[in-house]
Chain A
Amino acid sequence: MSAAKFSNPVVRWIDHRLPVFSMLDHTANEYPTPKNLNYMWNFGSLAGLSLVIMIVTGVVLAMSYTAHVDYAFESVERIMRDVNHGWLIRYIHMNTASFFFIVVYLHIFRGLYYGSYKAPRELLWILGVVIFLLMMATAFMGYVLPWGQMSFWGATVITNLFSAIPFVGESVVTFLWGGFSVDNPTLTRFFSLHYLMPFLIAGVVVLHIVALHRFGSNNPIGIDTKGRQDTISFHPYYTIKDMVGIAMFLLLLAIAVFFFPNAMGHPDNYIPANPMQTPAHIVPEWYFLPFYAILRAVPDKLGGVLLMFGAIAILFILPWLDRSPVRSARFRPVFRIFFWLLFIDALALGYLGAMPAEGIYVTLSRVATAWYFLHFLVILPMLGVFENTKPLPKSISEPVLATTGEAA
């Protein structure tokens, strides 16, 4: 970590007084990383890239957007038609929002599969859940800004969730609206907060990375690294591996932006907001659908809201629900089955959230919701006690040597 490692004298001079280059070098260059990471470890850097794309395109969009009920919709249409490359910038912003959630969901399931939330990485995991919550709030408020029909009614429905709070619910909702319905004060405060929150996310991301680098990345085997022989430097090995993922990510994003820009949106949002008429079939953005399904599965207003927030809150205590000392699902045959059941359950909830709340869909939503909580509250704690796990390798190198039969 000595400043002498830099050949450029200007860098050396600065680093001696302000060790930013040493910090960067430690974080993104020599940082020792387990040598057996697979491509599931790409999604952290992809999420970071998504955040950067969102902030850059968002700052640019704000230059042409007008946060006022009379002008918001038209200013967005002006961005699409008149502002130079405005259509491109807005479509990138819209689609990267969806891609951000895809990447983060994969990142979360990666953590669930390989037990990345277990000691000593509990705070790392909790900070991740905080980022996830902030992302949801940011995405929700961003969707309100174009002031289309889905914007308006999405804002109405989601803010009304808080009216379920006993006694003070109505006052809370009035406070959130700044009036007696979703109106101009709601729009202007959502714009302000939508601009603020990505920077809060960036701040928590820094904490997330600090916590990550305290003990280093988890790995597919889930055992601790035991020295230099188990690690390789982050650069160039994982910068290159991340670049492969980034190239794929940008390719898929470009396909979405240029060929299917509205595939993950809803056509009703190209109708200007009308406070007098609700669209026939109102659904949130796809990334909220599993939670929306849980909300609708419960026949009680307060109960539905509590379960929906509980579905996320339960992730905060996950490190203490799963008491198995073995991290990776590779050595937990029973857990692995239940992991995939949870994965299917989450997909099913997403599907059910998009379906109308009637008939068989309600029953299925209840089963899927019950399974979600059963998994975390009953199955995981029991597996920690009753599961027979497979023997763990002695080191990260051992399985590699066993399969190749060669000395490293």
Chain B
Amino acid sequence: MVKSTSNSKSPSADGVQEPARRDFIVVATYAMGAVGAAAVAWPLIDQMNPAADTLALASTEVDVSKIAEGQAITVTWRGKPVFIRHRTPDEIARANAIDGAELRDPQEDEARVQRPALLVVVGVCTHLGCVPLGQKTGDVKGDYDGWFCPCHGSHYDTSGRIRKGPAPTNLEVPPYNFLSDNVIRIG
């Protein structure tokens, strides 16, 4: 039975088993092979990451001047819904009525908006990814008059913060900035 050369040991002058030079060559060869295999594997794995044309669609521009007070619209950003709500003074007041530090995911309302009247959140429940109700006039808006997720019963307030139900965190605020007074760019 011929064994792999990597197991061969050549006795040195004093009879102690030492790794042979051949062992070094074998290990070095395997190491080079591993580096080569990794270099080949990378393109095959990386091709599953977003392609250039997918990344090119990663920002969305929205004219927010047309949204009336109390009205909410849904836009698409990276294939996901983004809720934009023009909040009433009452809704802003209710969002500020509670101390944000006491919530499950502590956050003040001011930290979640750039202009108090305009709330922009990703419309994906932080529990398991359903789209919460509350955008349309007739929708159930939950106990806190924000959004309610029908999948597993998460209630969000008028700042999109989790108040009741299984969701661990508040609705995510996407990165956005005002290109002008009326237009925001998300992403």
Contacts and interface: CB of A to CB of B under 8 A. Distances in A.
A and B: interacting chains: yes
Interface of A: 5, 30, 56-57, 60, 63-64, 78, 81-86, 88-89, 232-233, 235-236
A30 B51 CA distance: 46
Contacts of B5: 236
B116 to A, nearest CB: 40
A30 B1 CA distance: 7
B47 A81 contact: no
Contacts, number: 46
Contacts of B101: none
A84 B1 contact: no
B12 interface: no
A236 B2 contact: yes
A235 B53 contact: no
B52 interface: yes
B38 interface: no
Interface string B108-151: 00000000000000000000000000000000000000000000
Contacts of B44: 56-57, 60, 85, 89
A56 B53 CA distance: 24
Interface string B26-44: 0000000000000000111
A-B pairs, top 4 by smallest CB distance, nearest first, are A85-B43, A82-B52, A82-B51, A82-B53
A1 to B, nearest CB: 11
A370 B89 CA distance: 94
A88 B51 CA distance: 14
A232 B49 CA distance: 47
Contact of B47 (A30, A86, A232): A86
B134 to A, nearest CB: 36
Contacts of A88: 43
B26 to A, nearest CB: 9
25 contacts: A30-B1, A56-B44, A60-B47, A63-B48, A64-B47, A78-B53, A81-B52, A82-B54, A83-B47, A83-B52, A84-B46, A84-B51, A84-B52, A85-B42, A85-B44, A85-B47, A86-B47, A86-B51, A88-B43, A89-B43, A89-B44, A235-B2, A236-B2, A236-B4, A236-B5
Given A56-B44, A89-B44, A83 B51 contact: yes
B103 to A, nearest CB: 40
A224 to B, nearest CB: 22
A134 B51 CA distance: 33
B51 A89 contact: no
Interface residues of B, number: 15
A84 B4 contact: no
A50 to B, nearest CB: 15
Contacts of B46: 84-85
Contacts of A235: 2, 4
B2 A84 contact: no
A145 to B, nearest CB: 17
Contacts of A64: 47, 51
A132 B42 CA distance: 31
Given A89-B44, A233-B2, 9 more contacts: A30-B1, A30-B2, A60-B47, A64-B47, A78-B51, A81-B52, A81-B53, A83-B47, A83-B51
Nearest to A234: B2
Contacts of A56: 44
Given A78-B53, A81-B52, A82-B52, A63 B47 contact: yes
Contacts of B1: 5, 30
A152 to B, nearest CB: 25
A89 B4 contact: no
A86 B46 CA distance: 10
Contacts of A86: 47, 51
A235 to B, nearest CB: 7
A201 to B, nearest CB: 20
Nearest to B54: A82
A86 B52 CA distance: 11
A172 B137 CA distance: 60
Contacts of B43: 84-85, 88-89
A84 B52 CA distance: 7
Nearest to B43: A85
Nearest to A85: B43
B49 A84 contact: yes
Nearest to B56: A82
